[in-house]
């Protein structure tokens, strides 16, 4: 990393200046530096370090806005993003799922130029290259835990072990706090160190405020260190934006670029929790051990999730003595997630106090989320849960019979009926065949802000595969 305390002004230059050190930025740094190009990576956050405690320490040091960022709309949704060297890969569950072919076909049908931008065979080879680089494998049986095995039983076999980049996973279920064992292949311990060995430099604690554009060409970025110093970094070949979907769009706004994006999209997610007659956290279990695409035709992905105690406690309903009794049974509580490939689109807007996201699911999205909650609730009961807590306004707080679970799917959609969150963000920034943004030369977009739509699967692997292809093309330029 660049040796500076951030209090003094810094002037730098490199072939490629990369904004953001997460999945896209680190991938570009890895392959461009391996091609012999000089690379400078600028990161708003600081060096990543696993939280010693649980929620508060991780949220304040590793996440953007301390996990408090929300969308504006009828369904306020938490937006979870990493803000540290390594970006969201540091605080994600290491899930690595290949881009679905039918989603690629949708992109091509909407705009045939995507077939040339991202040839399917090239994209699959890039996926395989990154799988080898990060040691991606299915979650082994000894890390399924009660949550993963329970989802498999509850869905009557319609689930499979999750593909993850976590070769050293010990099943502590602390991915969201940063792995305390260094067991997952987050880019701060894999791609970035490899890039630095090839000469790349990483500058932490610096927020890029704008891209300097001269005569329609990006020439430099201007930033400010958290300690007050200014940074000017000039790019000899190109500037690569990899600051996340909302971050890249916000930076384009601050740089004077208009008409950015075809609409912000996410995978809205909701949790279902239940009380079981057996300990659910007795042994090792991967944060995401098991997943199901059995209802993918309805846009649903179902997954097991192992949570630390402080996070699990937030999913327990009740007040007074009843809540206290349930809290005494935390080791017997399990939680599974519903993720939706939503149809809704929103906007990243520029305001007086910074950027904000306007977004609300459609009624059809809400119906599908209720269907997913009903499926998981019934699956928990089939796996012998004593009681299930669907967390749906207007539904019973506690359900104990399959019919009660099925009734949730028949409920009328209502804004704000379930608490939502998402860590999968997309924006549809228009790019040309060289992935240059909005008609601006040498301003390359490499993160999920360029994806025309959401994917229905965890996007990290696709982000890295796309960034690999972008790096190959620009590294050879």
Ramachandran angles phi, psi of 127, nearest 5°:
-60, -50
**Is the alpha carbon torsion for 13, 16, 19, 20 positive or negative?**
negative
CATH 3.50.50.60 domain range(s) in the chain: 10-68+79-92+97-135+186-264+426-475
> CA distances (Å), 356 to each of 70, 79, 353, 451, in order?
8, 11, 9, 20
CA atoms within 13 Å, Cβ hemisphere of 194:
17
User: Is 388 strand, coil or helix?
Assistant: strand
CATH 3.30.410 domain range(s) in the chain: 141-172+269-341+361-414
Radius of gyration of the chain (CA): 22
pLDDT of 54 strictly over 70: no
CA atoms within 13 Å, Cβ hemisphere of 107:
23
Please give the sequence-ordered ranges of beta strands (E in DSSP) within 38-76, or none if there are none: 39-42
Mean pLDDT, residues 13-22 taken together? 98
189-227 per-position pLDDT tens digit: 999 999 999 999 999 999 999 999 999 999 999 999 999
List the one residue out of 425, 23, 42, 358 whose CA is nearest residue 210: 42
CATH class of 10-68+79-92+97-135+186-264+426-475: alpha beta
Kindly report the average pLDDT of the chain as a whole number: 94
Token pair of 349 as six digits: 């807007």
pLDDT of 93 strictly over 60: yes
List the one residue out of 28, 42, 314, 355 whose CA is nearest residue 198: 28
Percentage of the chain surpassing pLDDT 90? Answer: 86
- Could you identify the residue written with the tokens 């600051």? 243
Helix boundaries (H) for 432-475: 460-475
Mean pLDDT, residues 38-50 taken together? 92
Assigned CATH for 141-172+269-341+361-414: 3.30.410
395-445 per-position pLDDT tens digit: 999 999 999 999 999 999 999 999 999 999 999 999 999 999 989 999 999
Mean pLDDT, residues 67-84 taken together? 90
Residues 106, 312: Cα–Cα separation, whole Å: 37
Question: In sequence order, what are the residues at sequence separation of 6 or more whose Cβ sits closer than 8 angstroms to the Cβ of residue 418?
Answer: 270, 369, 370, 373, 391, 392, 393
């Amino acid at each position: 990393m660049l040796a500076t305390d951030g209090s003094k002004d810094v002037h730098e230059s490199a072939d490629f200046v990369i904004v953001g050190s997460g999945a896209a930025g680190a991938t570009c740094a890895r392959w461009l530096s391996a091609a012999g190009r000089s690379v400078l990576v600028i990161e708003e956050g600081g060096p990543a370090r696993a939280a010693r405690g649980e929620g508060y320490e991780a949220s304040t040091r590793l996440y953007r806005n301390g996990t408090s960022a929300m969308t504006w709309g009828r369904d306020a949704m938490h937006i979870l993003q990493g803000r540290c060297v390594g970006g969201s890969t540091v605080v994600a569950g290491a899930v690595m799922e290949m881009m679905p072919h039918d989603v690629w076909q949708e992109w091509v049908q909407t705009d045939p130029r995507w077939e040339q931008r991202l040839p399917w065979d090239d994209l699959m080879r890039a996926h395989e290259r990154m799988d080898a680089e990060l040691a991606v494998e299915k979650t082994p049986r000894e890390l399924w835990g009660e949550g993963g095995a329970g989802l498999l039983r509850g869905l009557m076999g319609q689930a499979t072990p999750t593909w993850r980049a976590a070769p050293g996973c010990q099943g502590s279920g602390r991915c969201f706090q940063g792995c305390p064992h260094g067991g997952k292949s987050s880019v701060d311990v894999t791609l970035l160190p490899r890039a630095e060995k090839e000469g790349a430099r990483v500058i932490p604690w610096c927020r890029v405020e704008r891209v300097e554009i001269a005569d329609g060409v990006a020439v430099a970025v201007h930033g400010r260190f958290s300690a007050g110093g200014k940074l000017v970094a000039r790019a000899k070949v190109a500037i690569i934006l990899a600051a996340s979907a909302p971050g890249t769009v916000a930076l384009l706004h601050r740089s004077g670029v208009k008409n950015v994006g075809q609409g912000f999209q996410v995978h809205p997610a909701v949790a279902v929790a239940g009380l079981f007659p057996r300990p659910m956290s007795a042994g090792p279990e991967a944060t995401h051990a098991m997943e199901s695409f059995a209802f993918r035709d309805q846009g649903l992905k179902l997954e097991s999730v192992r949570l630390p105690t402080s996070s699990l406690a937030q999913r327990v309903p009740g007040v007074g003595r009843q809540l206290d009794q349930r809290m005494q049974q935390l080791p017997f509580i399990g939680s599974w997630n519903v993720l939706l490939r939503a149809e809704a689109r929103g906007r990243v807007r520029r305001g007086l106090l910074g950027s904000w996201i306007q977004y609300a699911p459609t009624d059809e999205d809400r119906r599908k989320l209720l269907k997913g909650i009903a499926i998981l609730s019934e699956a928990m009961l089939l796996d012998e849960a004593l009681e299930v807590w669907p967390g749906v306004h207007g539904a019973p707080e506690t359900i104990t019979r399959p019919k009660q679970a099925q009734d949730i799917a028949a409920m009328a959609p209502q804004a704000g009926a379930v608490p939502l969150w998402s860590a999968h963000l997309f924006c549809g920034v228009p790019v040309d065949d060289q992935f240059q943004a909005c008609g601006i030369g040498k301003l390359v977009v490499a993160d999920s802000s360029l994806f025309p739509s959401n994917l229905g699967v965890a996007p990290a692997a696709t982000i890295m595969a796309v960034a690999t292809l972008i790096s190959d093309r620009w590294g050879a330029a």
